[in-house]
Amino acid sequence: MGEEGGDGLSVTPAAEFPAPTPDEVRALRRVGERWGAARAAGRAAPLPVDPTLGRYRLRPAPSRFGRLTPIELFRVGEPDELVATERANLPGSRLGRGLARLRRTVFGPPLTSAAVLYERMRKLVALPVLSSDLLSSVAYGPEAMLTVLLLAGGGALALSLPLAAALVLLMVAVGVSYRQTIPAYPHGAGSYIVAGDNLGSLAGLAAAAGLMIDYVLTVAVSVSAGVRAVTSALPGLAGFTVPLGVLVIAALLAGNLRGVRTAGNLFVLPTYAFVVALLAVLGAGFHDAAGRGFAALPPPDVPAVEGLGLLLVLRAFSSGAVSMTGIEAVSNAVPAFRPPEWRNARTTLGWMVAMLVLLFAGITVLVHLDGLAPRPGQTLLSQLARASFPTGPWYALVQAATALILLLAANTAFNDFPRLLYFMARAGHAPRRFLHMGDRLAFSNGLVALCLPAAAVFVIFRGHTEALVPLYAVGVFLAFTLSQAGMVVHWRRERGRRWRRRLAVNAFGATVSGLVLATAAVAKFTEGAWVVVVAVPLLVLVFQRVQRHYRTLHRALALRPPPPAGAAPPEGEELPQQVRNLVVVPVARLNRASLRALAYAASLGQPTLAVHIAPEEGEADRFREQWEAWGDHLRLETIVSPYRAVVGPLAHYLEALHASRADLVLTVIVPEVVPRRRWHRPLHSRAEHRLRGALQALPGVVVTSVPVHLGE
């Protein structure tokens, strides 16, 4: 994975088509020379059409797209190059065009690949987009910490201040560590890349697994907390928690499928409104506290259900640490910024950490001063807003801003999860479909892959935030720890300017993150953290298996290097002179479809064999009579299938043919009837599709079809 830390990490739509290596180019040139020697014996026939479509410029011709000419679907680019226009993306059927128009209305018109630079975010947009998860976590992070402390009784709530101070120190340490990581990895400093580049592939995969779990839980927890904020203000909606949450996840998916820039513009106002609302709550609350000399009100008298011990304090600390989820979002999304990417990303991260510290510390201190404690049916932030604004519309505005930012906080995961899958797919650790950018230059497959498990987790836990939070800290702090440990190795290896100071900062960040990771894993193991502890190694195993498959695929498809001078050429090269072809045409009855397939087979100029499967001897005799009446122009082999199966005997016969001559390439040409209307398809047996599936696993067998389109 070492090369993944370089310029090759730039996000581009062409990532699905990587450039060949010098060895591959040399092998390709050697194969091309052997192709040329094979074709020198015969002259290639000229093309029967003009591939540039130039002859159609002045002669319009109707097509299935309507009165469109080919030149309207393509425009001339470089020499010997055509560029497809937007109209070329339209499907041919009327239903397909209607769905395409609906998709355009919902998600917007498609964007060209050249627009990827303009889809990047400026700092004022990136701040709310990437900080929505981090900043919104202050709405439930302090409450999660106080909920654990409350188990030891109301008197234990006084520990919230020293715990908050320790968490603020942790936030600053991790934030500064990631600020150093961004310029060191300006093309994307995600934990997967940093850990893999410096600690090895296994550490990188473990960090990726932790991040993926964190992103899925980010969506589930953010949406559940947002729905809870809504039901706190409108208790009548409490019974609709699950459908409301699923609807929000679907809306977030639709918004992000419109593209990075459009989604960012949608989330700018809610994030800034939430920050302003919290600052107003803090300002009004501290103003009231100043009026009584900052004397803390007594907390509610809650009886203890657990003893106040070290384990409970550690559980409270790790619960409060969920307020840091999302702090790595900027370092993961450096390529999403406008140039200079790393500098804009580092500045944005600094703003985010400063705002996080201010809001988290302010809320914790104000809750202590007002003597508030978590209680069922109403969030702690709701109590705080009601205490700060007992009259007027301000409480409703604060709750609305809180609910909105919590619901949209999942957008951070929508930005980073697909990008993480993109980088993993480039290294072969994830399916290559995650390299593909949709028509709005968003990683559509990655977005869908995030929504499905997030919605499933939300439904399984019925949208209960308290049940989801214990799963949260382990995955994200695993990624924090590995990333910062990787940066320690990076500075020690690079030894650039002031490398010792930078190494010390990242070492401190790795140490405190590791302590939180161990605390969360042990203290919350029985509360649900065991799920993450088990899931991370399972995901790592899956990633390794995926890469193993791609390595096997690469070895199977790679061109062989040129042999030494005087050595024999390698066997199995895909050269025209090495292909020995036998064309096989399955024929059920002699009609227009089968005769067209036979004519196509004969036109190829290769040895051709017709095969007929008969259910009994009498039918086989009748077919041979028809074959002789036709003229017996091709060799016919009849197979009697007394059990009336067609696909199985034919597939086994073709496999036996191939086994008898392994050097033969069997080209199976299947006649296919194509109905005009979709509802006509069930009226046909479609045996050709079943045959294609049966033969797909056979090496050296090519299956093609000759369609006959019905006109009615």
- Give the list of residues 6+ apart from residue 121 with CB closer than 8 angstroms, or none: 129, 260, 261, 264, 336, 337, 338
Q: Are residues 527 and 585 in the same domain?
A: no
Assigned token pair, 290: 């100043």
My answer on whether 502 and 385 are in the same domain is yes
Residues 371 and 399 in one domain: yes
Residue 7 within any structural domain of the chain: no
Same domain as 503, residue 426:
yes
Q: What was the pLDDT predicted at 388? A: 87
**Torsional sign, CA 104, 107, 112, 118:** positive
Structure tokens at 460: 């399984």
660 exposure class (CB count in 10 Å sphere: 0-12, 13-18, 19+): exposed
The DSSP symbol for 529 reads I
One DSSP character per residue, 496-511 reads -TTHHHHHHHHHHHHH
DSSP 612: E
Burial track 340-366 (b if 16+ CB lie within 10 A, e otherwise): ebbebbbbbbeebbebbbbbbbbbbbb
| Domain shared by 366 and 467, yes or no | yes
**pLDDT for 59:** 42
- The reply to whether 455 and 597 lie within a common domain is no
Sequence-distant (6+) residues with CB within 8 A of 48 are none
Residue 394's domain spans which residues? 113-550
Residues 520 and 609 in one domain: no
103 occurs within a structural domain: yes
Domain boundary among 71, 88, 110: 110
Q: Same structural domain for residues 488 and 625?
A: no
- 645 assigned to some structural domain: yes
**Domain-located, residue 95:** yes
pLDDT value of residue 8: 46
Instruction: Write out the DSSP string of 472-526.
Output: HHHHHHHHHHHHHHHHHHHHHHH--TTHHHHHHHHHHHHHHHHHHHHHHHHHTII
Is the residue at 585 inside a domain?
yes
Is 0.95 surpassed by the pTM of this model? Answer: no
CA 76 from chain centre, in angstroms, equals 34
Residue 584 makes CB contacts below 8 A (sequence gap 6+) with 608, 609, 610, 611, 654, 657, 666, 667, 668, 669
The pLDDT of residue 60: 45
Same structural domain for residues 523 and 444?
Answer: yes
**In this structure, are 344 and 453 located in the same domain?**
yes
Domain presence at residue 240? yes
Is residue 475 assigned to a domain?
yes
Q: Is 90 left (phi over 0), alpha (psi -120 to 50) or beta?
A: beta
On whether the CB atoms of residues 671 and 688 are closer than 8 A, the answer is yes
In a domain, 143, yes or no: yes
pLDDT of residue 183: 86
Q: What is the pLDDT of residue 572?
A: 53
Pair 122, 101 in one domain: no
CATH number at residue 613: 3.40.50.620
Q: How far apart are CA 365 and CA 375, in angstroms?
A: 18
What does pLDDT average to in each consecutive run of 10 residues of the chain (712 residues)? 42 68 76 65 59 50 46 58 61 63 67 59 80 82 88 88 92 87 77 90 93 87 80 78 88 79 69 90 91 87 82 85 82 81 89 93 92 84 87 84 79 83 90 81 86 90 71 81 91 85 88 85 78 90 94 80 57 66 88 88 90 88 88 88 83 84 86 77 72 79 84 58
CATH number of the domain residue 283 falls in? 1.20.1740.10
Pairing label, strands 74-76, 82-84: antiparallel
- How many structural domains is the chain composed of? 3
Burial class (CB in 10 A: 0-12, 13-18, 19+), 376: exposed
Longest dimension (CA), the chain: 111
> Over the stretch 226-253, which tens digit does the pLDDT of each residue have?
787 777 777 877 778 888 889 989 888 8
Assess whether 98 and 140 both reside in one domain: no
